[in-house]
Structure 1
Amino acid sequence: MAETAVAAVLAELAALEDPKVRAVNEKQGNDHGVNLTKLRALAKQLKTQPELARELWATGESAARLLSTLICRPKAFERDELDAMLRQARTPKVHDWLLTNVVKKNPHAEELRLAWLADADPVVASAGWALTADRVAKKPEGLDLPGLLDVIEAEMKHAPDRLQWEMNSCLAQMGITHPEHRARALAIGERLEVLKDYPTPPNCTSPYAPVWINEMVRRQAAE
């Protein structure tokens, strides 16, 4: 990709920079100031451009990397390439968008899920748990659900923040989507009290697993 194309996109991202957005994002560990709705609109204009996506990722800029995940071709990445990208994605939003927009759509996703679950780096391991939570909810066949609950029960309480968050998400999905494991999932959540006091905005569901599970089950019953 010509350097001018990358420079032009970076200039557009710079023009979208908003100090107020950056201030809010920095409180959440993210180092960019681009409104995500505007960033998605830019991605829609650019459409799929795999080479440009790789060049934007290589800049190391968070806004450029977020845009990269929207204009790449997810299935084109090799396993080792995605593993390296995940380890480079140290801010929460880039990490999340890489998983959601790229890894989950890649044929190596399951292989990476298993490798990342066992990784010593808690941020990398959190990616494994995020992919596991997705499988628990959407494609649980072949998963050892009781075994996952055993690990969550033993390790979630003292896990580092990012890892704890994704393990908790997996616990919640277990209770929401698998009635046969709901009582145990609720009991684990109640006993460990992880995220029980998490500040939750009005009209949003608490990430505290017992509240989250019960609310989603209530909504399902009301549909």
Structure 2
Amino acid sequence: MPKAMSLSQVMKLLESQGDEKVRQRYVRDGVVDNVFGVLLGKIRGLAATLGTNHGLGLELWGTGNHDARILACMLLEPAALTEKEARGLLEPLSNPTLVDELVGRVLVHAPVAPRLQGKWMDGRKELPRRAGWKLLAGRIARGLEKELDVGATLERIERELPDAPYRVKEGINFCLVWIGLHLPAYTSEASAIGERLGRWDPRPIPKGCTSSYAPEWIAAALALRKGEKTEARKAMDAAAKAKAPRGEGKPAVAKAKVASARKKSAAKNPSARTRAR
């Protein structure tokens, strides 16, 4: 059963769970101030304890605290949001992480989503434009865009992505990949558009992550569905194995066999055990 807590109680709990290293990481990612640095897993646990609570969610959002707003995204009731309220939550934001959380956890499920989506995609502000494209992607994945002209959308993606601001590029590319993954009839076309657009993201790919290059992202996600690995992933795994120190990554069974053999050898040669001491 959900637990009732006041705003002040929740804020005190969040503050007590803050971690300075996590906070500094958030700051590096652009969360300039008003952040405790609570691990996402702890926020999820608190959300599960509180349950859906739209009123408390709005209060948490109103604090301006980053951790509180992430929690709010897990408590808000999408059906209860008016278009004005939804715009009031998202449009003042300056952090893409919060934009993505609000869109992915709340707005994609909201009845007002179609109107917001069109308004934001056609606008000029960077993060709302990102939100519009992410909203479209999320609705495609959930089968909510029954009347979408996919061909025209793909043409728009290819036309707009090259000159879009970076954070909008991310949103448009995300939508391209989601079309390729969730609309099988357009998978090949989405990959082909990605090839023509090229590698627009200059950032290095973090270890263990998938490239944002649409053809590779689509291929990796489809392979994962089948329980397979792409050639790129196989090459990365092989390179990591080659760099590993000798003996590291040895299967647990092999390690156990080696340990067992050593014990048997020691049992047959007591003097060796004595020397070892």
TM-score by length of 2: 0.73
2:158 to 146, 153, 158: 153
> CA contact under 8 A between 2:104 and 2:138: conserved in structure 1?
no
Aligned-partner Cα distance in 2 for 1:143–1:85: 26
Aligned-partner Cα distance in 2 for 1:28–1:52: 27
SS at match of 1:88: coil
Does the C-alpha gap of structure 1 residues 124 and 202 become closer, same or farther in structure 2, counting only changes over 3 Å? Answer: same
SS at match of 1:142: coil
Per mean C-alpha deviation after superposition, the further-off stretch among 158-167 and 210-219 is 210-219
Aligned-partner Cα distance in 1 for 2:150–2:20: 44
Aligned-partner Cα distance in 2 for 1:186–1:49: 41
What residue number does 2:137 align with?
Answer: 133
Per mean C-alpha deviation after superposition, the further-off stretch among 90-99 and 173-182 is 173-182
1:114 aligns with 2:118: yes
2:214 to 198, 203, 209: 209
1:38 to 42, 46, 52: 42
Per mean C-alpha deviation after superposition, the further-off stretch among 84-93 and 120-129 is 84-93
1:164 to 169, 175, 186: 169
Aligned-partner Cα distance in 1 for 2:49–2:195: 47
TM-score by length of 1: 0.89
1:57 aligns with 2:57: no
What residue number does 2:192 align with?
Answer: 187
Q: Which has the larger radius of gyration?
A: 2
What residue number does 1:173 align with?
Answer: 178
What residue number does 2:237 align with?
Answer: none
- RCO higher in structure (CA 8 A, sep ≥6): 1
Aligned-partner Cα distance in 2 for 1:176–1:5: 42
Does the C-alpha gap of structure 1 residues 77 and 213 become closer, same or farther in structure 2, counting only changes over 3 Å? Answer: same
Matched pairs, number: 220
SS at match of 2:117: helix
Shift of 1:184: 2.8
Shift of 1:47: 2.3
Aligned-partner Cα distance in 2 for 1:56–1:190: 43
Shift of 1:197: 4.6
Shift of 1:36: 0.8
Aligned partner of 1:35: which letter?
L
Aligned-partner Cα distance in 2 for 1:130–1:172: 11
SS at match of 2:30: coil
Shift of 1:16: 1.4
Shift of 1:111: 1.6
Aligned partner of 1:79: which letter?
E
What residue number does 2:273 align with?
Answer: none
> CA contact under 8 A between 1:65 and 1:94: conserved in structure 2?
yes
Aligned partner of 1:104: which letter?
V
1:5 aligns with 2:6: yes
1:74 to 73, 78, 81: 78
Aligned-partner Cα distance in 2 for 1:101–1:136: 15
Q: Percent identity?
A: 35
Aligned-partner Cα distance in 1 for 2:149–2:227: 30
**Offset from partner CA, 1:170-205 (integer Å, 9 cap, x none):** 111222233433333222212222445542233322
> CA contact under 8 A between 1:30 and 1:92: conserved in structure 2?
no
> CA contact under 8 A between 1:198 and 1:208: conserved in structure 2?
no
1:97 to 88, 97, 101: 101
Aligned partner of 1:70: which letter?
M
